[in-house]
Structures are given as structure tokens and as C-alpha cells.
Structure 1
């Protein structure tokens, strides 16, 4: 169970900071017009987001040999990632990857709150891009507010048209790139430019274009506050030592404007000059001075904004900062604690297990399906069962394989047992198994097929099936 965090009443105790996320995060339906700002955390976010955008938009255009380097080929049911190819039989690895992502999110949330949301979440990243487009086309915050209130005219029409045109262009590029990871990007882009794109591809490109345009352009903070489940359960993972973006009420209260040369203590004020800049830069429109709220995505925009004001006033930075509830109460933050250590250990163990599975995964796959007929008698009077063996070469080179039975005493494998498969080739091999021993007392026995690399016996795959025969009487 998580540690209970005290709740405060804003009306009766405005100077006490609380880490309990509040459900009510907006008091109006007005559009949020954010203010431009600079600072350390903004630069970190831009660097991280820039790398992720380069990864997303750039990787899809990289080739590996005669194919796209990263491609989820749905038609062929295989996933290429540079020199490796994964098949449906390898999807257990995807489950492990999702578990790793989950525990990674748990660990980082316990340690530093919603840094995923603020720095790397696609919703946040694309929203920041759309907000930048808004600033370029419609001006700074005050200009956008005036434009919003102004009646429709040529200036407003041109600025709004430019904004939405750029939004749609970014959305279309995003949709095309996303679909390009499932359908080769070069022919897909050519089909789009020549207006010859097929119905299915066109549907998905337009679907993700519309999703990007609506989520990043129109819904924005509503996705974070009302649609994202992470906002709902994040507080369960917080404790008194979790580093979150917090306002130091003990230092900041009482709030009030003053001249720069006036010392706060001389007029009975704290360091907060109540300039509202921390609210104006917030992409979700919350006031961090009201305590930790569900709408806070951990982007640290308010930290950069507040630090710039503290610099101008000649005060120490950190009135709003990454800190813990324990530290705000005068204690010392404990970075190492049981829950964080537990999540980290599980995360490391899962990463190690995935790495081992990737290294040890068989590079040849074997599936067996038995013919519907029960059995038959061949010309030598032996009981036979018919099987279809599906063999997949998961390597990037042509390979020779040998089919056999494991511990096949009393049985004989008949058919083409020597195979040569091209890279990624799938073949269905019909074979029969004859019983050369006396008829068993049981009508059904387990037999094991094996496919072995002819050049390296350590590379093999096995699959079980049933052999049906009449019983001795």
C-alpha cells in the first residue's frame, strides 16, 4: 500500500503545501494561451524531443540491404529491425518489452513524478510543436488573446489559415511516417504525391493525420487531464520522497507585488511577487502554487519561468523546483527506498531476461500440423500418419537444414528431410511417419520433430505432435 499523503484546504491553509493531486484543475473553459519562455528545463526538453523526432521521422527512411531497416510487415507477418527479423512466434518478446516499459514507468514515477509526460510523451511533444506554430503564425500570448477576441477579418483569417495549414501538414507527415513503419515508406510517399494511394493505406494515413490534428491542436490538455489514465493513478505511486515540481509555500507566502529594491521581509511578504508567469507558461493552465494537481504534466515550464523572475528580482532560484514533500517539511529526501529499489531490481531483471531471450532465441522455427486422417497402412503393412511441417529460416542468410525425429525408436520419418531455405523463407514440407515397431498398447503416442542447422547442430527447433495407431489386441 502507498503511503497516505495529507490533504489541505486551500481556503483555510493557503500557505501549506500539499502533494495530493486535485481533481479540479480548470475553473473556466477559456483557451489556454501559453507565454514564451527560456530556461534549463526547456532546453533539456527540446533536446530530448528533438532526438525522439529525429528517431521517429528519420529511422523510417533508412534502408538495410534491399529492404527498409525498420518495418512491421503485416502482409508477411514479420517485423524487421535492422539486421534482425522477428516472427509471430517471437511475440512473447513484445510482451517482455511492454513489461519492461511498464516497470520503467513505475520506477521513474516513484523517483521523479511525471517526467515521462513532460519530456517524452508524444501527446506533450506534438502539443509543444503545435503551440510553437501558433506563436509563429499568430504572435505571442497577448497578441493571440487579442486575435481570439477580435472579430473575423482578413488578418485573422490569414493567420488562422496559416496556423491550421501548418498543423495539417505536420499531422499528415506524422500519419504518413507512422503508416510507413507498416508499409514501405518510399512507395507509400510516392503514391500519396501522385494521388494513387490505395484505400486501406489512405484510410490509415488520414486516420492518424486526423488523430494528430485533433489531439495536439484542439484537445491538448484535455487529453492529459481527462483521457490519459496515467493522470488518474499517478498519485498512488508517489511517496514523501518523490521528486515533483513544487512551490515552496514557506518561502513564497505571503504573495504580493513589490519594487525590486524592496526586501520582502520589510513589507511582510514572501519571495512570490504574484506575477502569474508560472500560470501563463503552463500548457495545462494550472497554478502550481495551489499544490500538486492532476493536470501537472511535469514539464517544468513553471520552474524556468519562476527562475527567470527570481533572477530579475535578485532572489535565489528554486521558489518552484523539483523537490519532495519531506524536503519541503524540513527533512532530507531519501533517494533510495524499498519501493524504488524493488521496481529497479525487477526492471534490471526483465532487461537481462529479454537480452538473454534475444541472444538465445532459435533462428529456425518449426510448426507441426497433423493430417485430419487418423492413420493409414502403407505397402509394407506399416501404420503411417501424415504431417505438414512449417519451417522458417529466421536468419539473413541461406541455410541448409535437416529434419529428424527425437528419440524416434520404433518410428521412421519419410519424405524430403534435407532442406535449403533462403533468408526469411517459409516452406511447408509434407512428411509421413511410419511405425516400424510392434503396435503399441496405447492408440496415441507423442512424437517430437526436430529441424537442425546442417552447419551448426546447436541451432535447432523442436515441435511435438501425436501419432495415432490401432492398439494390439
Structure 2
């Protein structure tokens, strides 16, 4: 993680406060709502019924897969393999066009880490005693992890029978093993490992860059507007409002590099308050990042594009009445105000493969 540097500014001030106490209502936070919706879909899927039976059930002893009225047998394994091929190709195309949207919004590791993090923060706020808060947190984590294991096994065993015999010695040894296995995996990955799973264990995190190009969006910090960073007194306005304007790209990159690598680049020059950029160096983006990254230090290969830094920065911009978008999800070409290209080699190749797979599946079906 890039090291934050001390400031050497003439008009440095304490931690920033809102410029206007009567601020507007914050916009709807759709990212947490999307995470809750996806988690609700996962927990609800095994309970869906179709013509009196479980709608989605992979019955391994009977060697059949029931999918909303469609029954697949072992000889239909090509359908499952074809569906996996379509999903993998679709993920490649999504990555090329939209960036790491899967990591930021759909990955189970991200969803359960957010849920466990919310439980952690909620218990810390609700319980004033650290020891009791720690115990309650782990009890809630264990409950969520156990129910996650039961839900997962419910895709392979009728979930109503599984839950009905929860307190009875009616589970098979395999059911007990897999429920405990996925409960422990959820508890460990979402509660403790978190970003380490994305950094060191996830294969997609290591290969996703192959599917990207200069038109693939990613999290970017607008150094031309934000640099040189530093705290200031409220009421001074943004760089456009007070007429300073945007820096040239070379100076902006130099200031951002110096702020992130003061040990090798030397101290920052001194700036008066009217020459500072819109970044107040409040570090809200760094604190909000689940990976512990500083997006202001340049491209981050470990960034999962979850948007937490964008929400945190925009919140600060709203409070100070600055324009939002200092950190945004944009492609390098758009950031340089170049015309985007929609028909690129990787896009065409992934689209052609996806169409070919769908046509083959349609003919065989």
C-alpha cells in the first residue's frame, strides 16, 4: 500500500469541516442496496418452488438436475458445460467493456465481506464495551456463516428437509461435513482474510488485465483537478470556481507522485491556499477502500472497482460544495478526453465467441 506523506503547505488547517452546515440530503446509496439484493437472491433461491417441488435442485444421489421445470440427466452434461462456457465468455466480454464489475458487485467474496464488515461496524456502534462487541460480532458472524452453509447445501439436498431436521441427528455425514465446511470458509474468508483472498487466492484477479484495454473503465483520480492536495479553510471554492483551473498533465502527475513517494521524490513545494487543488487530503478514499489502496497514487492492479472510494470522495465534495467526480470510474481514453472506441480487437473476439457458443447451443437444444 502506497505510503501517505506529510504535508508541507503554508495554509495547512485541521481536519476539514463542512462549508455549509445545512447540507442537502445525500443521494441514494445504490451499491449497498445492490449487495443486499444479490445476497437475498442467493438465500431465497433454494426456497423457490416449481410445480410443488424445489425449483433449483442438483440431486447427486438421483443423478438429476432440476432447473425450473427442466430436468437434466448425466447424458445432458454438455448443457452444463456449454452454459459454463457461455458464462465464462460473457465474463470476459463484461470485463473488457465494463472493467472489474464482477469483483466490485457480484463476487461472493465481495458480498459477504461487505456483510461481515457491516456487522462489525454495527456492533461497534451499538455496544460500547469492546469485549462484549467482539463476542456479539463473532456470534452474528457464526450465525450468518452457518446459514450460508445450510443454504449452499440446500442446492443439493431439499432445503426444507434440511432445515426441518436441523436440531435432529438426521443429517448424513456428507451434509454435516459440507455445511460446516462452507460455514467455516465463509467465516474465515469474509471475516478475516477478506482482501487477501482477492490479492493472493483469486485466479480471476490475476488474469483480468489480459481482457482490458485503454477503453476499459477503471477507478481514476483526476490529478489535474485535485493536485496539489492539502487541507484548507472552508469557503474557498474549487479550482474552477476560484479561477485556478486544471493543471497541465505533467505537473499534476509530478505532484501526485511526490505526495505518494516523498522518500524518493523529496518534499512537496509550498503552496498558498488559492493554488491548492480540490483534494483536501482527508484520506476518506483510503479509509473506505476494502483493499487499503490509495487511488490517488496512480493505477492500482488490486483495485476491485467497488466504488467505495468514489462514494467517500463525493460525500466530502458535497459537504464542501465542490464539484463531484474527483475520483470516477472512467477509461484512460475518456480521462484524456479522447474519443472512445467501441469496436476493439478484444471486444470483437469475445463477442464472436459468445455468439458462436449461443448459436451452437441453440442448434443442439
In structure 2, what is the Cα distance between the partners aligned to 1:215 and 1:10? 26
SS of alignment partner, residue 80 of structure 1:
strand
1:170 corresponds in structure 2 to: 144
1:5-44 aligned within 5 A: 42-43=29-30
TM-score, structure 2 normalization = 0.79
Distance 1:331 1:106, change over 3 A: same
Within the candidate set 253, 257, 267, 2:227 is matched to 253
Within the candidate set 180, 188, 213, 1:239 is matched to 213
CA deviation after TM superposition for structure 1 residue 260, in Å:
2.5
Structure 2: gaps of 5 or more residues: 5-25, 245-272
1:359-438 aligned within 5 A: 360=365
In structure 2, what is the Cα distance between the partners aligned to 1:81 and 1:130? 31
Equivalent pairs counted in the alignment come to 310
1:329 corresponds in structure 2 to: 336
Structure 1: gaps of 5 or more residues: 1-8, 12-37, 148-154, 361-473
1:332-370 CA-to-partner distances (Å, cap 9, x unmatched) read 33233232133123223323433443xx3xxxxxxxxxx
In structure 1, what is the Cα distance between the partners aligned to 2:196 and 2:141? 18
In structure 2, what is the Cα distance between the partners aligned to 1:108 and 1:133? 31
SS of alignment partner, residue 165 of structure 2:
helix
1:60 corresponds in structure 2 to: 46
In structure 2, what is the Cα distance between the partners aligned to 1:273 and 1:333? 31
The answer as to 2:324 corresponding to 1:317 is yes
Within the candidate set 280, 283, 293, 1:286 is matched to 293
1:71 corresponds in structure 2 to: 57
In structure 2, what is the Cα distance between the partners aligned to 1:203 and 1:191? 15
Distance 1:55 1:330, change over 3 A: closer
Moved >6 Å (runs of 4+): none
1:277 corresponds in structure 2 to: 284
In structure 1, what is the Cα distance between the partners aligned to 2:204 and 2:182? 22
The answer as to 2:347 corresponding to 1:340 is yes
Within the candidate set 167, 178, 188, 2:162 is matched to 188
Does the 8 A contact of 1:10 with 1:290 survive in 2?
no
Distance 1:356 1:287, change over 3 A: same
The higher-RCO structure (CA 8 Å, 6+ apart) is 2
Does the 8 A contact of 1:240 with 1:326 survive in 2?
yes
The answer as to 2:106 corresponding to 1:120 is yes
Distance 1:66 1:302, change over 3 A: same
Does the 8 A contact of 2:211 with 2:346 survive in 1?
no
Root-mean-square deviation (CA, aligned residues, Å) is 2.2
Does the 8 A contact of 1:71 with 1:181 survive in 2?
yes
Does the 8 A contact of 2:231 with 2:282 survive in 1?
yes
1:105-254 aligned within 5 A: 105-139=91-125, 155-254=129-228
SS of alignment partner, residue 71 of structure 2:
strand
In structure 2, what is the Cα distance between the partners aligned to 1:98 and 1:355? 15
SS of alignment partner, residue 250 of structure 1:
helix
1:84-137 CA-to-partner distances (Å, cap 9, x unmatched) read 100111111111111111111111111121110000100000111001101111
Distance 1:286 1:101, change over 3 A: same
In structure 2, what is the Cα distance between the partners aligned to 1:352 and 1:317? 44
Does the 8 A contact of 1:62 with 1:69 survive in 2?
yes
In structure 2, what is the Cα distance between the partners aligned to 1:51 and 1:354? 30
In structure 2, what is the Cα distance between the partners aligned to 1:137 and 1:10? 30
